[in-house]
Every structure is written in structure tokens, then in C-alpha cells.
Amino acid sequence: MIPPLCVPELFQLRVAADPEAAAVVGEDGVLSYAELNTRANRLARLLISRGAGPESFVAVAVPRGTDLIVALLAVVKAGAAYLPVDPNYPADRIAYMLDDARPALVVTSAAVAGRLPVQDPLVLDDPETSAALAGQTADDPTNEDRLGPLHLPCPAYLIYTSGSTGRPKGVVVTHMGVASLLTAQIDAFDLGPGSRVLQFASPSFDAAFWELCMALLSGAALVVAPEERLAPGEPLAELLTERRVTHATLPPAVLAATSPDTRALAGGCLITAGEACSGSLVARWAPGRRMFNAYGPTESTVCATMTRPYYRTDLGNPPLGSAIVNTELLVLDAELQPVPAGGTGELHLAGPSLARGYLGRPGLTAERFVAHPSGRPGERMYRTGDLVRRGHDGTLEFLGRADHQVKVRGFRIELGEIEAVLTAHPSVAHGVVAAREDRPGVRRLVGYVVPAQGSTDSAELRRHLSAGLPAHMVPTVFVELDSVPLTPNGKVDRAALPAPDLAAAAAEGILPRTPAEEQLCGLFAEVLALPEVRADSNFFALGGDSISAFTLVQQARTAGLALTVQDVFRYGSPEQLAARTESADRTAREEFAPPAADLAKVAEGWPGHTAVLPVTPMQHSLLASARRETGTGRVLQDCWYFWLEFEGELDADTMRLAAEALLRRYPETTAAFAHEGLRRPLQVVPGEFELPWSEHDLGDLPEDQQDGAFEKLAAAEQDRPFDVARSPLVRFALVRFGERRHRLLIGFSQLQMDGWSFPVFLDDLWVLYQHRGDDSAMPPAKTGGPYTDWLTGRDRAAAEDAWRTALEDLSGPTLVRESDPGHHEGAPHVQDLVLLPADVTRALGERAREHGLTLNTLVLGAWGIVLGGLTGRQDTVFGYTVSGRAPEVSGIEHAIGSYANLLPVRVRWSPGAPLTEVLTRLQAEQGALIAHQHLSLTDIERTVGLPELFDATVAAQNYPVNRPASEALGAAALPPEGAARIVGVHTHEVTPHTLRLSFRADEQLFLALEYRGGRDVLARIAGQVRDLLTAAAADPGRSVEELLASGSSEGRNP
């Protein structure tokens, strides 16, 4: 049995047990228990300083993700109770909840703050908040720090559920039942370190607290994801598999819309809850998993009963199970007398898990929380309103409701609340709402209306209801009646309400007129199980809901129609959706499709080409800054090179076959670049190409001269720039040192390949060599097509606005070359290396985690401050290379191309500011720009009106190692005895910038610097970077001035 402790204490036990274990797994990385605890502690202390404490509420309106989890945890650590506010709720409902709860604070994000009817919310990603958080200590808050003592009877959270009066009611749940809930979860589900729990439920639903406890109070990891990745069907199945989820709690409606992929939750634990689960769902999902059914109202700390795991699939509809620890189940009749086994009665719950009651509703609380007829004096029980039958084995079977409360897709809904809003519409004389299941497994709300006069408009009724109710409470279908059927005693006869005739409604209207309309009509009919659908039929009027909308969008995308769920809600009919997709496609094509005149120039200059592609952001910037050859006017790009060293018998002809096959496998690597006189540069893929291949034999030279001769070859290769108009922009030179020693020198343009392509290039080349250029057994190559489609769909205007804001009030570029009188263009680069000791590197990582920072942020911040010292600026900008490979582009990690992007990073600092404050602001500002990293540097410079922003850059050497080809072929095994094997790889990059820092973090932090200037100047720069990082490893909370002074390097200007 878990000890009866409050949530913060239970969480801190897990932090102490394994601080480095994964706590939250999100789209932006993994947060350890120590990192989560640090971030939550800092926010908790800030909340305390602003009035949050025991017996108060803090509203949390933050989108799904890591920040939401930090915020919820921080609220309970402060001693307050959190009120989750779904940012997608209608404004009226949010306003009512906030007015009713009167929270001490509202915590939100910049993206949501403008939609909230409050003044001065705490905006987590605001720079001022970031600075305030940086000033808080990271220790666990105790009752001495809180505004009052936190005890078990204090509220933990406030959840608003549907109310029969037309307004939602707030359920105040305390810490009393949390230990019992956690005990039940751990005992039943085999939870603990190494488990991964999906955070699926809406934050406004108490199942989200169930998931939070299941993960963070057991030592497991909580897997968080954006809304679109949780969509029922293929997205959810992919997420479960990709994130290796071991435990998930999902409503039956979601399971019904998702295929039980054998890999998803394989061997793991699946819990259904929220509504009745059918035997057919158990039959589909139980094999290969441990499947449970759980039940519990919000008024009893999420869960009251659960079943044993299902291993058989022929059990019929699952029962509710038996009571969890410390929960008492009573099946009573109307006189509160026990009902014998086999009889029907209303389920009542008792025990420490009961909620305190309904906020500000003493009458309703007294009505639902009644005296326990056989309990201790003052003991209460909760009337659930659920009718059940207790079996002879003690398990409960759910039979229905004793009132008009229903459950649809896991949400508890009072039909009276919907009816009150529906009847308020002036066109409705009488309105009734019912939950129907006219198709097995498809339960939906139907609105029945008697018009006030004439007829009603379903679309208008839907808009009216959506303005005041969450989406799950809006009926999907409306049926007009002359009168509402009544029972003999004058009550609504719900059993006599007619089923909606959706097939007849779907067959009325205009026929589809375009291929897109025809496609969508077919998809509507398939998803809604209707014989046909007309072009002007509304998806929701035909019975669609949010879950089936996700299914529609998935199938539409498979058919090549780019839709979103928001489009379905906004446009609704095949006719309007087809127009939307055609308009979006046309706009995107117009922006990216080259004009006919440009294509004519390409056809003239590159006859026989097979494809014309838009350039990537990096290619656009590289071409804009490329140098033009004097005399010829050719546009030239510098040559980068790397070489592979082989030992053993190497066949030169086979290696040449492999190199040629590699370029054919990735056609974009053979592209030339057209740009003269074009609206925007283009990649031109030729039909045929000649492999640039040469062979050199150094075997006759004395062994001590061979390496020198090779270096001359490599230098000569580097001195041969590429003409961007001639393809391919890659060259191979095989150098023989002897019978069993070779090097393959590969020169290439950065226009063709970035660092992230490097592992794929090497892997495929080696596999192709082993198979003599035959790629038939290899997985299909990942090309740039999906990336181009993704790039086409980006919102350039929003990105330009974001960069304009990020660089607002910048006084000018940061140019290192102007601060060094000894610098001159064309000078060779000198190099210096800094290697931080392992203990300093480890301390840097620990300090970063303590302050909720990444090591990258520490390095970038230090670099910006050092540049400030060099240039005399406290507002510096430099370039930082990002991967550019959007995770939503399928297979992009296995593609070869120039997808990386060089983007500005702005660091603002002052000598007296704590370094942590500078870094926290930097990390927040960079995080806000992640969605806008698809603009080229050239476009950003144009947007902010500066021809140049910087001449110093940073690159993190964090290239992934992906081996799809060799893994597929089992080629990772050692080659046959005597055959060639790779024994060394050497890379050499050429930077056009004045100053460049590249770094890699392993056990030690490795920093390599290149400078087009004096070696002594570079040595001072390297020393400043080393000293600042070393000082930060000791205490990053000190001011920048103090940290700089503690180093051994002196002077502002080197």
C-alpha cells in the first residue's frame, strides 16, 4: 500500500529514487525526473510569491505538451489545486468557469492568453516570466515556504463536469484518495520505472489526472503529444508504436476507430474507461495485451472499480469489475436499502476517495453526497446515478442511468445542459436531446426540435450550441418534429423519439461536379456508412463527429487531398471542402511553381532534364551568397570533402559502380542549379550524367611520402570549386596506397548534401559496394518529394512576422571582422581547439538541467556574450545551423540533400544580468521560432531590411547515425576475410564566414574554432569561451560580469 501522502510528496519520492530516469517524453525531447522537478519547483515558488497556496485554485490554460505537465505539477507543489482549462473550449464556457472558480492565478501561454477573459495572466513563455523563473530557487517547496500547510484534505484539482441546469459544475477533489488510486494502478498494471504511459485524455477531463499519477507517481515516463498525433486511427497507432508506449487508457470509441496494430502496445497494458465497452472491442484488442475495464466518476478521484485483465475474447460485454483499494461499493434501492445479488439498484460509493463536493453548490452537494446508512457518524457516500446489477461473484454489471445523464466518447454529459442552450435559440419552441446508438458501437447525440415557426436551420443551431458548449456536447444530427412524444404522465417519451433518417437526407441535394467533389462524396459515404452522399451535404448533419472527422481527414490525405480536421468543421460539405483543397493547392502551386518563362529557360539550358524542383532554404541562401568568377561570370560554390580509408582488398570497378548507383538512387544529388534571370532559383535533375571519377596510384612512392602526396591531392580537390550550373556537384577520387590500402576522396558542394546526410550517404555507398551497385534488395530511397510538399504548405507570412518580431529593434549586424584590424578577406582560416574536462562538462549538464536549460542553450548563450565582448555589443546575432528536417516529413531522416538551414540567433545581455536570466530568455525565444525555421536566411534578411546579419556561426555536431540499408540487408556484419573494410573517416568543411564554432558533447565538451584572421586573436577568443563555460559550470546564477571576471582572459577587445 502506498503511504497516504499528498501529490508533491509522492512525486518527490520518485525523483529521489532515480533523478535521471525519463519523466516526460515529448516532441521536443525527454525531460528527466530531476529536470521536471527543477522546472516545477521554480514555477511553484513563483506561484507562491503571487498568492497561490492551499485552499486556492490556479487555472491552467496551456496547450498539450511538456509545459502543461510542468504547470500542473507546479500548482500542486505550491499547495494549490489546479483548474484545467481546455484552450479549445468556447469563450463563454471558459468565462463561466473562471468566474465561478475565482482562481488566484491563471497560468497560460502566449498563444492562448489573448483568448482568456482575464487581466495579467502568468504567461509561461513571456520573457519576463522566464526571467522571474530564473530567479527562483530549485528546491522542493515545503509547508514553511507555502502560504499555509498542505494536508491530505486540501483540494488537489477542480474539474468542471456537465450540469443539468445548463451550467457546468465544479467538482473539488482532494489529495485523500490519491494514494489509494496509485496503489490500485501499480498493483493491477505492473507499473514502474521503464514503463511509458500515454497522456491521451483532455486536460479538462479527470482521466488526465489518472494518467499523470500512473506515470509520474510510479517512476514511469509520461508520453505527451500534440492533438493531431492523438487522432484515432493511424496517427494514434503510429504514436503508440513510435514512442514505445506500454500503458494507455483509451475510451471505447477511440479503440473502435483505431486498428489494433500488432505492434501498438504489444505485450503492454490497455485500459478502457469513460463509457461502456463492448465484447467485440475486447475481442479485437485483448490478444497480445493485458486489457482492463475501469469505471469511476469524477466525484471519486477518477476510479472506483476495475476488472481483472482479459485474456479471453468470448466474455461478452465487460463488467465494471470490483472495488479498488479503500473504496466501498453499495448497490441500494430507492429507500437506500441493499439490493440482493442479481437485483438492480443504484450504485453508491464510499471511502476516502470521495470528492469534497461541488464548488459553491451546497444544495447539490447535499443531494448527491448523502449520509452513509451504515457508516461511521458523519461518513458520506456518493450517489452515482448509475444502475447496476451485482453478480454472485461480487462484480458489477452496468445497466444504464437513473437520470438523463449519458456518456458519449468517454465524456459525462447532462442532457439537460444541452437542452437548456438549445431551447434558448429563438427558432426553437421545444428542444430535446438524446444519446442514440443506431449503429453498433457508434453513439452520438441527436437534437430534436419543434420549430417556433416555419423551420429551423441545422447549421445555425450547431453554431449557436458551439458558441457555449464544448464540441463533445454539440449534437451531430438535428431532427425536426411537429411535437415531442410524451408518456401518459406528461414526460418526454424518449423511447418514442424517431431515429434520424440520415440516408434519405444524404440522398438529397446536388450531385458532385468535380473529381475532388466526387472523391469527397465517396469518402463521406464510406466514413458515415451511408449508401450515398450529395455534394452539398454537411458532414455533421449526416451524423459525423470529431472522431469520424479524424477518420475522414486520414482517408482524404491517403487519396491525395490535403485537409485538416479544422477544415471539416469550418467547411463541412464535399462541395466546400473540394473548393478549399483546390484553392489551397492552387495558392501553394502558384507560390512554388516556377513561371512558364522560367521553365522555358530551364528547357533551353538543360535539355533532357527529368525534374525541376524548388530549392531548399539553405540552397536559396547559398546561391544568394555564392561568388561569381571574374571573366566567365560563372557562379561558383566551394568544395567540401571527406575521405574514407579502407584496409583489405578493394575492387576499384565495383566501387565506381557503387558510386554511380548511389547518385542514381538519389537523383537530387545530380542536380544542377538554374538561377540567372529566374524568379527564384531551381534545382534541375538531368536525365543522364557522367560520374566524375578519377583514380590515383601512390603505391610507387615511399611510404613516408604517401600521406603528403595525398594531402596535395585533397588540397587540389578543395581548390576546384563547383560551377553550380553543371551537374553533378560531386566528385570521387580513389587513391591507391598499396594492394591492401585505399582512400576514397569525395568532394561535394554544400548545395547537394548537409551533415545529416553524411551517415546515409556512407551507409548506402558501402551496401551498394557489397552488392556491386545493385540496390534491388535495399529499402526504397527517401527522396525530397515529401519535403517539397511540406515546404509548399508552410505559412510564409506567419514565419516572416515571427522573424520580424524576433529581430525587432536590432540596431545592426554583428560583424566580427570589423573589430579586428588584422582581418582581411581571403585570408586562410586558422584553427583552435577547446576540450572541457569531463568533470566540467558533467557540471555544465547538471547546471543546465537544474535551470530547465539545454546544454546547447548554454553554449549558444556563452558564444553570444563572447561575440559581444569582441564587437562591443550587448545585443548580438550569429548564425546557427539547424537540421531543417521536419519530423512530420515521413522518411526525411533517411534522405540525402541540403535540408539543414543557417538561421539567426539573437542574444541580449547586460553585465549585471544573471547568466541564467540571459539563457532562459534565449531558450524561450528560440523555442518560439522552431515552427518558423523553414525560411531561408536570405528571406529573413530581406524581411528585416538588412543585407547581412552576422559573420560568425555555430554548428552542433549532433548528426544522427541511421543505417536503414545495412540493417535491412544484414550488411553490418564483418566482410569476408581479406575483403576491404572501412577503418577511418575524415571530414573537412569549408566555412565562408569570418568566425565559426562547432561543438560536440560527449563525456567531454569538444569545441573547434576557425577564424579568418590572426592565430593569437583566435587563441584569446577560444580562451574566453572556455573560461566563461567553466565559470558557468560552477554557478550560472552569477552575473555575466562576475563570470567574465572570474576567467583568466582579460580585455574587452582581443
CA distances from 661 to 778, 779, 1036 (A): 12, 14, 52
pLDDT band (50, 70, 90) for residue 410 = low
pLDDT score, position 524: 92
Under DSSP, the state recorded for 299 is G
List the Cα angle 180/181/183 in 5-degree steps: 65
The pLDDT, as a whole number, for residue 316 is: 61
- Residue 815 above 80 pLDDT? yes
Do 14 and 158 lie in a common domain?
yes
Q: Please tell me the predicted confidence (pLDDT) of residue 545.
A: 75
Cβ atoms < 10 Å from Cβ of 702: 8
3 state DSSP class of 446: strand
For residue 1053, is pLDDT > 50?
no
- What is this structure's pTM? 0.58
What is the rounded CA–CA span in Å between residue 358 and residue 356? 7
User: Does residue 968 register a pLDDT over 80?
Assistant: no
What does the DSSP assignment read for 685-707? E-S-----EEEEE-TTS-HHHHH
Residue 823 to residue 1011: CA distance in whole angstroms? 9
Q: Domain for residue 320, yes or no?
A: no
Q: What mean pLDDT do residues 652-674 have?
A: 93
Q: Domain check: are 942 and 1016 in the same one? A: yes
Q: Which residues, in sequence order, are bridge partners of residue 305? A: 295, 323
pLDDT digits (tens, 9 = 90+) for 334-391: 888 999 888 888 999 999 999 999 999 999 999 999 999 988 888 999 999 888 888 8
Indicate whether 778 and 816 sit together in one domain: no
CATH of the domain at 795: 3.30.559.30
pLDDT in tens, 139-170: 999 999 999 999 999 999 999 987 666 688 99
Q: Final residue of a domain: which of 500, 535, 569?
A: 500
CA distances from 959 to 69, 173, 760, 822, 955 (A): 29, 47, 11, 35, 11
Helix (H, G, I), strand (E, B) or coil at 295: strand
Query: What pLDDT is stored for residue 826 in this prediction?
Result: 63
Is pLDDT larger for residue 32 or for residue 310?
32
What is the dihedral angle through the alpha carbons of 392, 397, 401, 402, rounded to the nearest 10 degrees?
0
Cα dihedral sign for 363, 365, 368, 373?
A: negative
Using CB atoms within 10 A of its CB, is residue 518 exposed (0-12), middle (13-18) or buried (19+)?
Answer: middle
Give me the mean pLDDT over the 1-12 stretch: 93
| Furthest C-alpha separation in the chain | 111
Taking residues 118-133, what's their average pLDDT? 92
User: 698 and 582 in one domain?
Assistant: no
CB 360 within 8 A of CB 351: no
Q: Which residue has the higher pLDDT, 587 or 777?
A: 777
CB 308 within 8 A of CB 399: no
Does some domain include residue 15?
Answer: yes
Q: What is the mean pLDDT of the chain?
A: 86
The CATH number assigned to the domain holding 338 equals 2.30.38.10
759-783 confidence digits (pLDDT tens)? 888 889 999 998 999 988 788 888 7
Helices 915-928, 127-134: inter-axial angle, 10-degree rounding: 140
Average pLDDT over residues 711-720: 87
**Whether residue 970 has pLDDT greater than 50:** no
Q: Does one domain contain both 380 and 423?
A: no
Q: Which residues contact 306 (CB under 8 A, 6 or more apart)?
A: 184, 188, 271, 292, 293, 294, 295, 321, 322, 324
Q: Are residues 917 and 806 in the same domain?
A: yes
Q: How many CB atoms lie within 10 A of CB 925?
A: 18
**446 within 8 A of 475, measured Cβ to Cβ:** yes
Edge-to-edge strand ranges of the sheet holding 730-738: 693-697, 730-738, 741-748, 640-647, 981-988
Question: pLDDT value at position 27?
Answer: 82
pLDDT tens-place string over residues 479-526: 998 888 876 656 678 788 998 887 776 777 788 888 889 999 999 998
Least confident of 189-203, 586-600, 874-888: 586-600
Residue that terminates a domain, selected from 592, 616, 643: 592
Residues 579 and 646 in one domain: no
Question: What are the start-end ranges of the H helices in 643-757?
Answer: 652-665, 703-718
145 in a domain, yes or no?
yes
Range among 459-468, 592-601, 897-906, 975-984 rated most confident: 897-906
972 within domain boundaries: no
Spatial separation of the C-alpha atoms in residues 941 and 951, rounded to whole Å: 13
φ/ψ region of 826 (left if φ > 0, alpha if ψ in -120 to 50, else beta) reads: left
What pLDDT shows up at residue 383? 94
Residue 888 located in a structural domain: no
Assess contact for 948 and 941: CB atoms under 8 A: yes
- DSSP assignment letter at 375: S
pLDDT of res. 964? 44
CA 550 – CA 547 distance, rounded (Å):
5
The pLDDT score that the predictor gives to residue 977 is 57
User: Which of 841, 822, 926, 843 lies closest to 880, judged by CA?
Assistant: 926
CATH number at residue 116: 3.40.50.12780
- The pLDDT of residue 718 is above 70: yes
Q: Which residues contact 742 (CB under 8 A, 6 or more apart)?
A: 645, 646, 650, 734, 735, 736, 980
- In this structure, what are the phi and psi dihedrals at residue 1010, rounded to the nearest 5 degrees? -130, 140
In a domain, 2, yes or no: no
In terms of domains, do 603 and 731 share one? yes
| Residue 592: predicted pLDDT | 63
Domain that holds residue 553: 504-592
Taking residue 106's Cβ as centre, other Cβ atoms within 10 Å add up to 23
Q: Is the pLDDT of residue 682 over 70?
A: yes
* Pair (735, 819) in one structural domain: no
* Alpha carbon separation from 971 to 741, 764, 774 (Å, rounded): 21, 10, 14
Q: What is the 3-state secondary structure (H, E, C) of 972-1018?
A: CCCCCCCECEEEEEEEECCCCCCEEEEEEECCCEEEEEEECCCHHHH
- Domain end call among 401, 429, 456: 401
Note the pLDDT of residue 978: 62
Residue 962 to residues 328, 642, 643, 778, 894, Cα–Cα distance (Å): 54, 18, 19, 14, 7
Q: Are residues 491 and 524 in the same domain?
A: no
pLDDT of residue 641: 80
Could you please report the per-residue DSSP string of 419-443? HHHHHTSTTEEEEEEEEEEEETTEE
Taking residues 437-457, report their average pLDDT. 82
Domain shared by 427 and 358, yes or no: no
Beta strands at 196-198 and 221-223: parallel, antiparallel or unpaired: parallel
Contact 750, 721 (CB under 8 A): no
CB 108 within 8 A of CB 71: no
| Rounded to 5°, angle at Cα 602 from 597 and 608 | 135
> Per residue in 986-1004, pLDDT tens?
877 667 788 999 998 888 8
Pseudo-torsion of CA 445, 451, 454, 456, nearest 10°? -30
What does the alpha-carbon distance between residue 969 and residue 914 come to, in Å, rounded to a whole number? Answer: 53
3-state secondary structure (DSSP) of residue 891 = coil
* Range from 178-192, 651-665, 748-762, 908-922 carrying the lowest mean pLDDT: 748-762
391-419 mean pLDDT: 76
Cα 953 to Cα 210, 422, 809, 902, 950: the distances in Å are 46, 60, 21, 8, 8
Q: Which of 624-638, 651-665, 697-711, 865-879 has the lowest mean pLDDT?
A: 624-638
> Rounded to 5 degrees, what are φ and ψ at 220?
-85, 180
Residue type for position 902 = L
Residues 6+ apart with CB under 8 A from 1048: 1023, 1027
Please say if the pLDDT value at position 212 is more than 60: yes
What pLDDT, on the 0 to 100 scale, is given for residue 1050? 37
Which three three-digit cell numbers place residue 473? 456536447
Question: What CATH number did the domain enclosing 571 receive?
Answer: 1.10.1200.10
User: Per the structure, how many domains does the chain have?
Assistant: 6
Residue 662 included in any domain: yes
Share of the chain above pLDDT 70, in %: 92
- Cα(814)–Cα(867) distance, integer angstroms: 8
DSSP 62: -
**Helix residue ranges per DSSP H, 200-294:** 207-216, 234-242, 252-256, 279-285
Query: Under 8 Å CB-to-CB from 604, ≥6 apart: which residues?
Result: none
The set of residues, in sequence order, having a beta carbon less than 8 Å from that of 44 and lying 6+ positions away, is 73, 74, 75, 77, 78, 141
Closest CA to 375 of 339, 422, 321, 330: 330
DSSP 166: S
Q: Which of 20-29, 462-471, 900-909 is most confident?
A: 900-909
- Helices 652-665 and 758-770 sit at what angle, rounded to 10 degrees? 130
Q: Is residue 962 part of a domain?
A: no
pLDDT at residue 973 is higher than 60: no
User: 431: domain CATH number?
Assistant: 3.30.300.30
Q: Is 678 helix (H, G, I), strand (E, B) or coil?
A: coil
Say yes or no: 839 and 769 in one domain: no
Average pLDDT, stretch 218-238?
90
